[in-house]
Chains A and B, each alone.
Chain A
Amino acid sequence: MFNRDRWQEIFETIRKNKLRTFLSGFTVALGIFIFIILFGFGNGLKNQFQEFFLDDATNVIFLFPGKTSKPYNGFKSNRRIEFKNDDLSDIKEQFPFFLEYITPRISRGAVVKYKNEFDNYTTRAVGPAHQFAEKTILMKGRFINQDDIKNKTKYAVIGRLVAQDLFNQEDPLGKFIDIGNSVFKVVGVFQDDGGDREERYIYIPYTTRQLLERSNDKLDQIILAFKPQIGHSGSVLFERKLREFLKKKKSIDPSDPNGIYIRNVADQLKQNQQFANVLQLIVTFVGLGTLIAGIIGISNIMVFVVKERTKELGIRKALGATPKAVIRMILQESIFITTISGYIGLFIGIFVLKNIGVSLQDYFIKNPYIDTSTALFSTMILILFGGIAGYIPAKRAAQIKPIIALRDE
């Protein structure tokens, strides 16, 4: 296979035809380079998308109260519906088959102070299960627990950025902060993959919030999770039953579209995943397109190269080169050039991707990458097609009678 003489002949040809070599090599390198960059960006877009939409629990249903738009059962329309504590226990009782956990959420803005530092934050009064619904990750201490709910404790779990802003380097655990003129003890610090906004929340027990608001039993919204094993169709059924149950309980016309709103994350998730799939499709399509463009580029160059060398090949044949020798020479040369320049393009592409990756986060491209196997595979495809693109005209040139090739000026 390895023939030193043949390689020497090829290196000589390459060395003495620098422009031609450069042009064909450049086409290949550029093709691979663009492929890697585009494919990497596509992956980055997908990454960012996943971070945006897929960071919360995926089996969650949100319930919001609204205003009725139809009179029903003696009530006027435009009546404001409110959730109460007993709704929680009723749902728990009614749907043990579907329900995984349930938590209320009462959101209030408040000025929060610690020593001389203060700022506006949103507090969320919640139950223990809220931690799972938001996929809150605890860095220090603990989350709100059942005892806090029972005893209406004045404990708070603060976000990472709240801790950073108010406490600076100090350890916030066990310290007392002032939330809307009530003193709370910090029992935990959390972080969240959902981004900065999520890390500026303060969690407190919902019963404590109700106590502070003149011991009412109102809830802003209810967040509940269905058992994952019931699947998407099960969740749709659950959602429908939940709606029927609550409408009946709150005396809302069954045909009233308002009154209670239900948002099923599973629905959203399905849409988001479809969108992610479309993104993947676009990325693949763009990648394939670039690759095909690259292949066409190489084919063009190879056809041109062989055409340009027709006379030379005729001379070589007159001097005793067999068709096989002619084809082998052209193929070996073209594969050599495409391999070298293909890998040059590959490495430059990966290098550029690595280095500009971070600075593109503002443009919705996060951590662009291309996996090694895709990169190597596409480079190999390009080399293969470079070879085929060289082989066809080379074979034709090798079959031309030398007398015709020699006449070619």
Chain B
Amino acid sequence: MIKITNLHKSYKMGNSSLHVLKGIDFEVEEGELVAIMGSSGSGKSTLLNILGMLDVLDEGSYLLDDVLIKDLDETKAAKYRNQFLGFVFQSFNLINYKSALENVSLPLYYQGIARKERQEQALEYLTRVGLADWATHLPSELSGGQKQRVAIARAMASKPKVLLADEPTGALDTKTSYEVMDLIQKINEEGNTILVVTHEEDIAKMCKRIVKLKDGVIVEDSKVKQVLAADYV
């Protein structure tokens, strides 16, 4: 599903440049649930941003679903993001003046799906994350866990090839974190490919594979026995 070879990325900081990713080779198969771990500054978020086409790579190649992601202008990137990727952010990033239902239907709007169908599909995804009753509520009326579930429903609504989650539990307490992870595991069980960036051991252990980054290189890449979040909820 994802194939990265010899990925380099550096940021210009005034006169000096900061080499963040120093040659990463990385592959993800369909249906995997991968945790990307590392301390802050290890380059894990940069990696995710490049995977999410929110940022561009300096060197190396990136294949997503056998499509070479290269020389993207913003228009193309937007189309690919809409087609291939779903995002879940640490700070939820819901549009605050739109209801839960409208937030979920937004990627469908950009896919050009008619309003009525959009809302039906969005409601279906809201039902799947258990928030059908909250469809008309604004994000400000939802708890943190509910917000993140709306965000996940939104990310899933466009039926992406890969779901990218950047510290999805970073702003949540432990119990809510496990609820969110339970949801992510269930989505993964349905065959979806998911990448989770986290620095929390327990969250990482709920994935099927852990990739550890340190100073811009992969230091460890191992399959683990998945801990079911449902056991803790």
Contacts and interface: CB of A to CB of B under 8 A. Distances in A.
Contacts of A358: none
Contacts of B54: 318, 401-403, 406
Nearest to A321: B110
Interface in A1-40: 5, 8-9, 12-13, 16-17
Contact of B89 (A9, A317, A406): A406
A403 B78 CA distance: 12
A323 interface: yes
A398 to B, nearest CB: 7
Contacts of B94: 315
Given A9-B109, A401-B54, A401-B55, A315 B93 contact: yes
Contact of B78 (A8, A311, A321): A321
Contacts of A315: 93-95
Given A320-B158, A403-B54, A398 B95 contact: no
Nearest to B111: A320
Given A16-B97, A319-B154, A320-B82, A5 B75 contact: no
A318 B81 contact: yes
B95 A312 contact: yes
Interface string A105-130: 00000000000000000000000000
Interface in A358-397: none
Interface residue range, chain A? 20 to 34
Residue among A8, A320, A406 facing the most chain B CB atoms (10 A cut-off): A320
B62 interface: no
Contacts of A406: 54, 89, 93
A8 B115 contact: yes
Interface residues of B, number: 28
A398 B55 CA distance: 15
B55 A317 contact: no
A324 interface: yes
Nearest to A319: B107
A17 B97 contact: yes
Interface string A310-333: 011011111111111100000000
Contact of B87 (A311, A318, A321): A318
A399 interface: yes
Contacts of A322: 74-75, 78-79, 110
Contacts of B82: 319-320
Contacts of A5: 109, 114-115
Nearest to A403: B54
Given A316-B106, A403-B49, A323 B111 contact: no
B137 interface: no
Given A5-B114, A9-B109, A401-B55, A320 B78 contact: yes
A89 to B, nearest CB: 91
B167 interface: no
A318 B93 contact: yes
Contacts of B110: 316, 319-322, 325
Contacts of A9: 109
A403 B95 contact: no
A168 B94 CA distance: 82
Interface in B79-133: 79, 81-83, 87, 89, 93-95, 97-98, 102, 106-107, 109-111, 114-115
Contacts of B75: 322-324
A323 B79 CA distance: 10
Interface string B64-79: 0000000000110011
A294 to B, nearest CB: 27
B109 to A, nearest CB: 7
B81 A319 contact: yes
Interface of B: 49, 52, 54-55, 74-75, 78-79, 81-83, 87, 89, 93-95, 97-98, 102, 106-107, 109-111, 114-115, 154, 158
Given A17-B97, A402-B54, 7 more contacts: A314-B93, A315-B94, A316-B95, A319-B107, A320-B79, A322-B79, A401-B74
11 contacts: A5-B109, A5-B114, A5-B115, A8-B115, A17-B97, A318-B93, A319-B82, A319-B107, A319-B158, A321-B110, A322-B74
Pairs A-B, 4 closest by C-beta atoms: A320-B82, A320-B110, A403-B54, A16-B97
